[in-house]
């Protein structure tokens, strides 16, 4: 996805308040949900993710992002994993929404995990829970916090590409737009700042920062909130009219370590995306004090990040008899029996860097 898609995406990112979700704690979720039915599920997830990340450290950021992109659309129901299907029930995959198109990574890793889990505990663990566990494991493997993941989600029966275009924050969002997007999901300002800290790892494509470097807000000048030395460093990687797919680290100091440096970077005017720097450079914003707290106290960041990840993981969950436990994460069960699943795999992008704001 290049500049044309970015321009179109800018027109399509409309923030809506999507109501009707159980937005906060869900009494039916429990970290010990699989204690008797699949006691080793966490270890299985950890082993697959660890092996993949040895060869591809960026995958840890990709899996956290995949969980985020799932939960902000229809809730945490693994709808982001569903492929297009033309026969009833027709599904328009969220994978082709502007924030996801040619950018989602980790779909094949989730399928690897699902295969391993099914071999151990067939028909027990949902793809939604696998996404949630993989995000927590990724944090730990990158040196970040661990937490007890509430489990017991079931998988949704459809996807919603329109909502994916509407609900996922864009990298050029202002603070007001970011707050609106998070409020729509029942998340507050502290959640916004804490979850943004996931940008302490990962990469972004030059296409999402070029306007900041050369023509911010059609001014013909760079974004004034960018440190001038950092600006030149970014321009070296992302020259004007250069390759849009060059990759840039979110954190120029410790790009593959989950730490508090993201917030120190914001203090130094070294936030990569506009939506990152907005948290600190918006005049009189209530986010500034939170950034300062996290920059000075990694434990405070970790505790808030854990709480916000659990809170986000509760958005719109299906439990009990709602939804299903998919046999294959990319298709609902009705479709799975109609297909030769050995020959049908999701489109896996090789480009991790094209991102939404989160």
Distance CA 341, CA 353 (A): 29
Residues 6+ apart with CB under 8 A from 16: 163, 166, 167, 184
Q: 114 and 329 in contact (C-beta within 8 Å)? A: yes
Pair of tokens at residue 323: 């939804």
Q: Which residues are catalytic?
A: 69
Q: Is 254 annotated as a binding residue?
A: yes
Residues 6+ apart with CB under 8 A from 307: 194
Phi, psi of 205 (to 5 degrees): -80, 150
Residue 238 preceded by cis peptide, ω within 30 = no
Strand spans (E) along 143-246: 203-205
Q: Is 53 annotated as a binding residue?
A: no
Q: Is 352 annotated as a binding residue?
A: no
Q: Is 70 annotated as a binding residue?
A: yes
CB neighbourhood size of 185 (10 A): 20
Q: Which residue reads 């989730």 in tokens?
A: 110
Q: 233 and 279 in contact (C-beta within 8 Å)? A: no
Using CA atoms, how far residue 54 sits from 3, 49, 93, 103, 112, in Å, is 32, 9, 30, 21, 15
- CA-based nearest residue to 6, from 205, 223, 175: 205
Burial of 337 (0-12, 13-18, 19+ CB in 10 A): exposed
Q: Is 73 annotated as a binding residue?
A: yes
For residues 68-104, one letter each, b for 16 or more C-beta atoms within 10 angstroms of the residue's C-beta and e for the rest, the string is bbbbbbbbbbbbbbbbebeeeeebbbbbbbbbbbebb
Q: Is 227 annotated as a binding residue?
A: no
- CA-based nearest residue to 190, from 282, 304, 292: 304
Containing H/E element for 63?
helix 59-71
Containing H/E element for 279?
helix 274-281
Q: Is 169 annotated as a binding residue?
A: yes
Q: Is 199 annotated as a binding residue?
A: yes
Binding residues: 70, 73, 75, 77, 79, 94, 169, 199-200, 251, 254, 259
Binding residues for heme b: 199
Binding residues for Ca(2+): 70, 73, 75, 77, 79, 94, 200, 251, 254, 259
Binding residues for substrate: 169
């Amino acid at each position: 996805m290049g500049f044309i898609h970015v321009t179109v995406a800018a027109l399509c990112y409309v923030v809506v308040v999507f109501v009707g979700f159980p937005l906060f704690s869900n009494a039916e979720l429990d970290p010990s949900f699989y204690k008797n039915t699949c006691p080793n599920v966490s270890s299985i997830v950890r082993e697959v993710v660890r092996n993949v990340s040895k060869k591809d450290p960026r995958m840890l950021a990709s899996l956290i992002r995949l969980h985020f992109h799932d939960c902000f659309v229809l809730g945490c129901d693994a709808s982001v994993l569903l492929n297009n299907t033309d026969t009833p029930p027709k599904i328009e995959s969220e994978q082709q929404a502007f924030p996801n198109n040619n950018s989602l990574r980790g779909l094949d890793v989730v399928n690897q995990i699902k295969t391993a889990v099914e071999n151990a505990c067939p028909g027990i663990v949902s793809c939604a829970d696998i996404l949630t566990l993989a995000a927590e494991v990724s944090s730990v493997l990158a040196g970040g916090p661990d937490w007890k993941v509430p489990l017991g989600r079931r998988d949704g029966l459809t996807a919603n590409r329109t909502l994916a275009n509407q609900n996922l924050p864009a990298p050029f969002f202002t603070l007001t737009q970011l707050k609106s997007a998070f409020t729509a999901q029942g998340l507050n300002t502290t959640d916004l700042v804490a979850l943004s800290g996931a940008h302490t790892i990962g990469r972004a494509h030059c296409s999402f920062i070029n306007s900041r470097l050369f023509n911010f807000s059609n001014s013909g000048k760079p974004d004034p909130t960018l440190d001038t030395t950092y600006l030149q460093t970014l321009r070296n990687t992302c020259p004007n009219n250069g390759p849009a797919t060059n990759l840039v680290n979110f954190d120029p100091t410790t790009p593959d370590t989950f730490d508090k440096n993201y917030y120190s970077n914001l203090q130094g005017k070294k936030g990569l995306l506009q939506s990152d720097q907005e948290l600190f450079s918006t005049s009189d914003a209530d986010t500034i004090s939170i950034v300062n707290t996290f920059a000075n106290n990694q434990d405070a960041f970790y505790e808030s990040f854990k709480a916000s990840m659990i809170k986000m993981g509760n958005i719109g969950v299906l439990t009990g008899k709602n939804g299903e436990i998919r046999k294959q994460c990319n298709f609902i069960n009705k479709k799975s029996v109609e297909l030769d699943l050995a020959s049908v795999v999701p489109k896996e992008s090789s480009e991790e860097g094209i991102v939404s704001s989160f």
